[in-house]
Structure 1
Amino acid sequence: MTVLAAGEVSPGLLGFVVVALLGLALFVLIKSMNKQMSKIQVPHESDQDNKKADVDAD
């Protein structure tokens, strides 16, 4: 058994696993966010100008 001094604390395997899982979760969330963002259709300025002109003409 290894005895560490008061200032020598090691995170060990558990610390690595926690950080790895957080990194994996972050990767999955960013990938999902990019998928959802690609579904959003942003209108172009010309489309907005055409709609405004149509409303003014009525």
Structure 2
Amino acid sequence: MMVLAAGEVSPGLLGFVVVALLGFALYFLVKSMNKQMGKIEVPHERDLADEERELEKKAE
């Protein structure tokens, strides 16, 4: 069995490939998340107040 010094060990090509794949996956996940977040419509306070007034008028 060969014993290596502490400075002679490196992650090599496999380590680089794994990190690169994780980076690509993260990029596409963030891109997809931004697309999905853009589809969400948040009502404004003014719209909510108008809806409440309409419901109160119908209840009378």
TM bucket by the smaller chain?
Answer: 0.7 to 0.9
Is residue 2:32 matched to residue 1:48?
no
Q: CA deviation at 1:55?
A: 1.0
Which amino acid is the alignment partner of residue 30 of structure 1?
V
Equivalence for 1:24: 24
Give the structure with the larger helix fraction.
2
**C-alpha distance in 1 between matches for 2:40 and 2:22:** 27
Alignment size in residue pairs: 55
Equivalence for 1:57: 57
TM-score by length of structure 1 reads 0.86
Deviations 1:12-54 (A, max 9, x none): 0100000000000000000000000101111111110000111
TM-score by length of structure 2 reads 0.83
RMSD: 1.3
Structure 1 unmatched runs, 5+: none
Structure 2 unmatched runs, 5+: none
Identity of aligned residues (%): 64
